[in-house]
Amino acid sequence: MDDVDPRRLIPRTNDLLALPAVHQARSRLNERVIRDTVRQVQERARRGELAPSDVEPALVGALTARSATTLRPVLNATGVIVHTNLGRAPLSARAVEALVAASGYVDVELDLADGTRSRRGASARAALLAACPAAEDALVVNNGAAALVLATTALAAGREVVVSRGELVEIGAGFRLPDLIASTGAVLREVGTTNRTHLRDYADAVGPETGCVLKVHPSNFRVDGFTSAVGLGELSALAAGHGIPLVADLGSGLLAPDPHLPHEPDAATALGDGADVVIASGDKLLGGPQAGLLLGRREIIERLARHPLARAVRADKLALAALEATVAGDPPPVVRSLHADVGEVRRRTDTLARALGVPVVPHDGRVGGGGAPGVPLPGWALQLPEGIAALLRTGEPAVLPRVHDGSCLVDLRCVPEDDDHRILAAVRQALAALDGAGAGRAG
C-alpha cells in the first residue's frame, strides 16, 4: 500500500472554521482576518513546517495571540525619551482617557448650549492659550511639517520666504525643509552662509516680494566654532518695519522655559521676542499626541485658519482630545522622564541588578526626537551581554535596550516603575534563552 501524502491529512478549511476557538475569535476579529489566519497555518503544514496534527492547536494559538492591530507595545529601555521609532511621546493616563472618550460622538465642532456649529477644537485651543498666555490665538493641525507648510502657503505662496542657509535642515525620514517650503509654491530666498548669518543679510533680502521671514531652530544638530545667528528680537524689528510676518519654527514643543534644557527655545519666549507665529510639535517635549501647533498673533492665526489648506491638514477629534488633556492634566511621561530623579533611577536599577546578578554602569540618556542634541541626561543602566538584545526585542513583553560598545544596556529612565517587574522577567527569560543556546552549541 502506498504511503498517504501527509498533506491530505491537513484539516479542511470548513472544519477549522467550525472550531469553538474560531467562533470565539469572531468577537474580536473579522471573517477575512480569521480565514487568512487559517490559510497561513494550512500553508505552513503544506510546506512541512507543521505536522497535520499540529494544525488545529497552531490555529488556536495564532487566533488567541492575534489582536485587531499588529502594533506591539514596547518597554523603552534605551534612555531616549522622545523615541521616533517608538512613536515619540507616550501619552499620559489622562490623555488616554480623553482619547477613549472622544472615540464616540463628542462636541468637537458643536455648541451644546444652543445646538449650533462651533469652532473646531475650541477646548484644545483654550487649553493651549491658558498654558501659553503670550499667544493671542492658536491653531492645531496634524503634525509639525503640516504646520510649516500651512504657514508658508498662507503667507508666502508665489512670494519669497527669507531664511538663513544655516537653518535649511533635514528632518526625520529624509524630509528637507527646503523641499517642504518649495512644495507650497513659495520661493526660498536664502541668506547668509552655513555657519554665519547677520542682520544685514536679512535686511538686504527683504523687499516687496517677501511673504514672510522664517527662523528655524536647528533642533537635531549643532554647529560650533566660528558661527553667528540673528535672534528673534532683531528679526522682529526688521520684519515689523516692513510689515512682514515673522515665523519661528521651534520644532520640539516647549511652551515655556525648562531649566533642564536652558538652550532649548520655547513658545512663550519666542512670542515675547516678537515672533508673529510659533510652530511646534505636540508629540515631542510637550508629551502629547502627534500634532502641529501654531501659536501667535490673532490676525495671523485667523488668516491661516481660513486658508483652504487648513481643512486638509486639520487635527482629528482624537488628537484634539488627547492634546487638551496633555496640556491641562498632570505632567505626561515625557516630562516625568526628563525630570527623573537620578538617585531614584539608580535605586531601581540596583534592585534589578541584585536580582539578576549583573553590573550597573553610568549611562547618559537623551531627549531624542530632534530635541536638545548633544545634551546628556545622566543616569544608570543594567549592563548585559550584547547577544541578549535581540531576545529582549522579540520577547514578551518586547523590551528595546541600547546596544553600545559590545554591551546591551537597559536604562529605566523611560520605564514606569510599575513595569520594573516586567523588565526583570523579560531579562531573566532572555538570559536563560541565551544560556540555553550557548549550551546547545557547546553540546
Contact present, 96 and 352 (Cβ < 8 Å): no
* Amino acid residing at 289: P
Residue 221 belongs to a domain: yes
Distance CA 373, CA 231 (A): 19
- As given in the structure block, the three cell numbers for residue 299 are 490676525
- Is residue 316 domain-shared with residue 400, that is, in the same domain? no
CA separation for the pair 84, 382 (Å, rounded): 23
Q: Which of 322, 432, 332, 406 is nearest to 98 (CA)?
A: 322
118 and 251, same domain (yes or no)? yes
CATH of residue 136: 3.40.640.10
Q: Which of 88-102, 159-173, 179-193, 408-422 has the lowest mean pLDDT?
A: 159-173
Q: According to DSSP H, which parts of 183-307 are helical?
A: 199-205, 232-241, 267-272, 298-306
Residues 273 and 373 in one domain: no
Higher pLDDT, 138 or 9: 138
Closest CA to 345 of 358, 368, 364, 332: 364
How large is the angle between the packed helices 342-356 and 420-442, nearest 10 degrees?
A: 40
Pick the last residue of a domain from 311, 329, 347: 329
For the residues 407-435, what does the mean pLDDT come to? 97
Same domain (yes/no): 340, 285: no
pLDDT (0 to 100) of residue 253: 80
Q: Which amino acid is at 7?
A: R
- End position of a domain, from candidates 289, 313, 329: 329
E strand residue ranges, 310-397? 360-368, 377-385
User: Which helix (H) or strand (E) element contains residue 32?
Assistant: helix 31-46
pLDDT tens-digit map of 277-328:
999 999 999 999 999 999 999 999 999 999 999 999 999 999 999 999 999 9
Assess whether pLDDT exceeds 90 at residue 344.
Answer: yes
Percentage of the chain surpassing pLDDT 70?
Answer: 96
- One domain, residues 411 and 324: no
Report residue 438's pLDDT band, with 50, 70 and 90 as the boundaries: low
pLDDT of residue 8: 85
- 377 shares its domain with 304: no
Q: What confidence score (pLDDT) does residue 178 get?
A: 86
Beta pairing class for 116-117 and 110-111: antiparallel
Residue of higher predicted confidence among 422 and 437: 422
Q: Looking at the structure, tell me whether residues 159 and 286 fall in a common domain.
A: yes
Is the pLDDT at 441 greater than 60? The verdict is no
- Give the list of residues 6+ apart from residue 425 with CB closer than 8 angstroms, or none: none
Mean pLDDT of 48-62: 93
Other beta carbons within 10 Å of 316: 13
Q: What is the pLDDT of residue 1?
A: 44
pTM, two decimals, is 0.89
Q: Dump strand ranges (E) for 282-347.
A: 292-296
Alpha helices in 132-279 (DSSP H): 144-156, 177-182, 199-205, 232-241, 267-272
Long-range CB contacts (within 8 A, 24+) of 431-436: 431/356, 431/384, 431/385, 431/388, 433/391, 434/385, 434/387, 434/388, 434/391
Q: Looking at residue 346, what is its pLDDT?
A: 98
For residues 315 and 422, state if they share a domain.
Answer: no
369 confidence band (pLDDT: 50, 70, 90): confident
Greater confidence (7 vs 115) lies with 115
Note the pLDDT tens digit of each residue in 208-259: 999 999 999 886 667 777 788 999 999 999 999 999 999 999 978 899 999 9
Residue 3 has pLDDT above 80, yes or no: no
* Count: domains in the chain: 2
pLDDT of amino acid 172: 66
The answer, yes or no, to whether residue 9 has pLDDT greater than 80, is yes
Confidence band, pLDDT 50/70/90 cuts, at residue 94: very high
More confident residue, 437 or 150: 150
Full domain range(s) for residue 405: 74-83+335-442
Higher pLDDT, 369 or 38: 38
Sheet holding 360-368: strands in order across? 80-82, 360-368, 377-385, 407-411, 402-404
Cα separation, 395 vs 429, whole angstroms: 8
In a domain, 259, yes or no: yes
The residue among 194 and 31 whose pLDDT is bigger is: 31
pLDDT of residue 267 exceeding 60, the answer is yes
Residue carrying the nine cell digits 503667507:
155
Q: What are phi and psi of 148, to 5 degrees?
A: -65, -40
| pLDDT for 359 beyond 80 | yes
What is the CATH classification number for the domain harbouring 346?
3.90.1150.180
Distance between CA atoms of residues 332 and 307, nearest Å: 33
Cα dist from 229 to 100, 202, 213, whole Å: 45, 11, 14
**Same domain? 126 vs 233:** yes
What pLDDT sits at residue 137? 98
Q: What is the pLDDT of residues 388-399, one digit of tens each?
A: 999 999 999 999
Domain-ending residue, one of 329, 353, 384: 329
The answer, yes or no, to whether the previous bond of 359 is cis (omega within 30 of 0) is no
Mean confidence (pLDDT) of the chain: 93
Please tell me the distance from the alpha carbon of residue 226 to that of residue 236, in angstroms, as a whole number.
Answer: 24
Handedness of CA 252, 255, 261, 264 (dihedral sign): positive
Q: Which residue has the higher pLDDT, 137 or 3?
A: 137
